[in-house]
Every structure is written in structure tokens, then in C-alpha cells.
Amino acid sequence: MKLGFKVWLLIFSLVLSFLFIFGLPPKFLESGVVITSIGQNSTLFDQGLKQGQVIISIDGQKISDFNDYSNAISGKFISGNETKLIVGTNKGEYTYYGDLFPELIVGEIPKTNLKLGLDLAGGSRALIKAENKSLDQGELSDLVSITQNRLNAFGLTDLKVSPVSDLSGNNFMLIEIAGATPKDLKELISKQGKFEAKIGNVTVFEGGSRDIASVGRDAQSARIEGCNQGEGGYICRFNFEIVLSAAAAEKHAEITKNIPINSTSQGNYLAERLDLILDDNLVDSLLISEGLKGRATTQIAISGSGSGKTQEEALSEAKAQMKKLQTILMTGSLPYKLEIVKLDTISPMLGEGFVKYILFAGIVAILSISIIIFIRYQRWKISLAVILTTVSEVVIILGISAFIKWNLDFPSIAGILATIGTGVDDLVILIDETSTGLSLSIKQKLKRAFAIILGAYFASLVSLLPLMWAGAGLLKGFAITTIIGISVGVFITRPAFGELLKRFKKE
């Protein structure tokens, strides 16, 4: 049977969609584990190891999946001694030396190019607004940019920060971190992060690029100085260096030039201390050496501590606190105090189970519809064409989603299901119109059917547009996926189905 242009267009769209979904060569043929997160103050990061690279070997041992990776690294960093680790990736080899496992999180290589939203992959979502202030679009854009930089600097790279609005005109910031549940998310965005270094009541410098030229994050300029056991557990102190701007250094010199010197058993220091204050809370109070009196110094050492019941807990807390201070000093404070309107955390296991149930339900639904159509029209070719058309529609929607890198979440899945429903309605209209006893040609009957379908399409399109903003954008996935689906149906799959009906009638 000679295929018409509309059927060839459908075949071409399907081939292209499969390429978008699986890639070339197909992703399901790849072996190894993919890096989902890496600490930006890691020596591996400095060497060029980045998120998205695929680890294919550890110390020369081939890595095919996550089990191979777990076996390869087990027992390597339990002695506390410095250990060498050679990480082989699809971009080259990287060498790590350390007594602790590097800040590296990996996962299984995705079998497709489809991106799953946090509803399916697991993760955290926060809807944020400014406290006691209504933001305009310019202010919201600045807030999104600063927040993105802060979270990236903190090492949270697998994230999406975007401006959203609701139908009332209120502006919000939406933060989504798929594939992870970072415990620091709430703390990072619920606090303004205003850092000040004061001598007496005078501010010497603040966090941000205006006063801070650079922040030390490598092993030479940032370190854990030691851990001590106390009554309630352990305390570990950290220390890292920063470089002040010339203006901040001159201000330091001006403030300290008239402060008297005190002599102590530990040495000579200024009578005033350098107080480190974060969100109006004192983080640390540092002695100022007499050699810095009236001196425009650009190098300052910042210190603090972390505590825990065990030494490991204290060490982990000290590293987290150091990273937090480093991040705030680099990015500065947020321009507004923020309020978390809604915070969701979803388990990846919930998403995996949901996907399985949806696939099963979708297959059962398509088969049930086909059986009903067969019973109604008594023609197996038409039932088979309905199955192929419906499945093709879903494949093309997924292909477009993979191409535009759209995150598929619960609302998006609902949009696909809604598309299947409207698609079946349109196919029934085509079948019924071409089966009428009117003295019209098959071409005229198809035109009548498509007039009805196009009317319904534009009505649906207009009704879906407000959902792009409803619920502060949380229904955007449903609106976009449904619009893509019904557009694919009207312009690709249903014309091809009509072409097949025309050929069935000729037979």
C-alpha cells in the first residue's frame, strides 16, 4: 500500500522522537555511573571533574553499574590515612589524595534523555516570596539570579530556580532540586544570610563582591584545624582565608589605628576584637594582632566551629558551617528576607512506583479503548490504527519533552493522560463521520470531522493558557504537556489516522 504524505510525516516524527528520547548511540547501551553532584571545593572539581560525567573505572577497575561502583570504593577511606583514588571517566582520568571520601554523589546512568521532575525522581521544591514586600519583575529577576549563584556556590548544582506568578499578579520564586533532598535547602533560603565583620559597633566589611575580592576554598587556604572533646561531645574548628577589596582594607586600617593594645600571656593584641556576625547572631570573635593596627591589610583569616556528639558529627558540622560562610562571603546577603510559602520533599521510591503504575494503567487503558472500538465497529484494522495512533502521540510528546529538556512531573503525566482522552474522542469523531450514510465523498466527510476537531482544539488551547500561571505556575507542566499533545494530535497523528481511514474505505 502506497503511503501518503501525512503518514510519512507521522513516521518521520516517530523516528525523530525515538532519537530524541534514546539518543544516538542509544543511552541504554552505556555503562558506568553518572556524577550527580560534586563539591566545588573538591580537588577533583578543580581538576575538571564535573556533574554529568560518567565514571567508567575506579583505580583501573571497570565500572558497569552502581553495584560495581559501591564494591570498588568500599573500604578505601576507613583507615583515616591519606588514600589515592584514580577516577576514570568518559572525559579522562582524575587523581584524588585524601583521608576522607571526596564530596561525590553518583547515580545510575539514565536509560533515556527524558528528564524527570522531582515528583518522579525525588527531591525538594520550595515556593518562596519576599517577606512583607511585593516584588516587581525586575526585583524578582535579581532575587532569582542571586539565589541561583548562592545555591550553585554551595554545591547544589542539580537544581532549577525560576520566577513564577499566580493569576492575582503575585510574584514568587520556585526552587526545585530533583534527584536529591538537601537538608540545607530550607536553612539557605529562609535566612537572608547577612554577614558583617564588626570592630566595636562599626562594620569593617560585609559579604559579597563589593568588600570580598576572593574566598579561599582549596586545601591550602581552607582547613579544619582540629577537634577537641568537651563535656557534651566534640568541637571541631575551621579556618579559611579571604582577600578584602582595597576599600575594605583601608576601612580596617582607619578603624584600628586608634584602638589601644593589650598585653596578654599569648601576645599583644588590640583591645577590640573582630566580631563575625551572621543574620544578627555572633558566629565568632577574633583577636586582632598588634601588627595589624592601622594597617591596610587585605588578607583576613575567618574561623568558626562545628559541634557534635561524635568526632565524625562535629567534623561534618564544621565543614558544613565553613562551606555556608564561604558561600555567603562570596555571594553576599539576599536582598530581602524570604518566606517559604510551600516546601515539599518527595522520596525517589515514591516516584519510581508511580511511574510503574502509570505505565501499567496507560497500557490497560489503551487496550480497553481498542477493544471497545472493535466491539463498536467490528473492524480490527481500525482498532489497530487507534492503538498505533494513540501510542504514536505519546511517543512524540515524550520526544518533544526530551528535545526541549522539559521536566516530566505529576502535572505533565496528567497532561499526557488528558491528551490520550481527547485524542480518542477525536478518533471516534473521524470514524463516525466517515461511516455516515451521507452522500458525500470520503474527503468531504474528513473535512467535516476536522472542522469539529479544530474547533475543539482552539477551545482547549484557550482554556489551557490560564493554567500556565494558576497556582503560581505549579500547573504549568499540565498546561504545556497538554498543549503539546493536542497540537501533535491535530497536526500530525489525526491527519495520518484520517489518511488510513480513507485507504480502509477504498479497500
**Are β-strands 115-116 and 407-408 bridged in parallel, bridged antiparallel, or unpaired?**
parallel
Provide the 8-state DSSP code for 335: S
- List C-alpha distances in Å: 475 to 283, 373, 467, 470, 493: 42, 32, 6, 6, 26
Q: How far is residue 498's CA from residue 386's CA, in Å, rounded to a whole number?
A: 11
Per residue in 317-345, pLDDT (tens digit) is 888 788 777 877 777 767 777 788 877 77
Per residue in 143-179, pLDDT (tens digit) is 787 777 667 665 555 577 888 887 777 888 888 776 5
> How deeply is 290 buried, as exposed, middle or buried, from its count of CB atoms within 10 A (0-12, 13-18, 19+)?
middle
Q: How far is residue 216's CA from residue 46's CA, in Å, rounded to a whole number?
A: 13
**The CATH number of domain 123-191+341-346 is 3.30.70.3400:** yes
E strand map for 33-131? 33-38, 54-58, 61-62, 83-89, 92-98, 104-108, 115-116, 123-130
pLDDT at 471 over 60: no
Q: Which residues pair with 286 in a beta bridge?
A: 274
Per residue in 281-318, pLDDT (tens digit) is 787 787 888 888 888 888 888 888 888 888 888 888 88
The CATH-assigned architecture of domain 5-23+348-506 is: Up-down Bundle (1.20)
Query: Any idea where the domains of the chain sit in the sequence?
Result: 5-23+348-506, 31-108, 123-191+341-346, 195-333
pLDDT at 45 over 90: no
Percent of all residues in the chain with a pLDDT value above 70, rounded to a whole number: 87
For residue 438, which phi and psi values (nearest 5 degrees)? -65, 145
Percent of all residues in the chain with a pLDDT value above 90, rounded to a whole number: 6
pLDDT at 13 over 90: yes
Per residue in 227-248, pLDDT (tens digit) is 888 777 888 888 888 888 888 8
Q: Which residues pair with 126 in a beta bridge?
A: 175, 343
Q: How far is residue 301's CA from residue 216's CA, in Å, rounded to a whole number?
A: 10
**The CATH number of domain 31-108 is 2.30.42.10:** yes
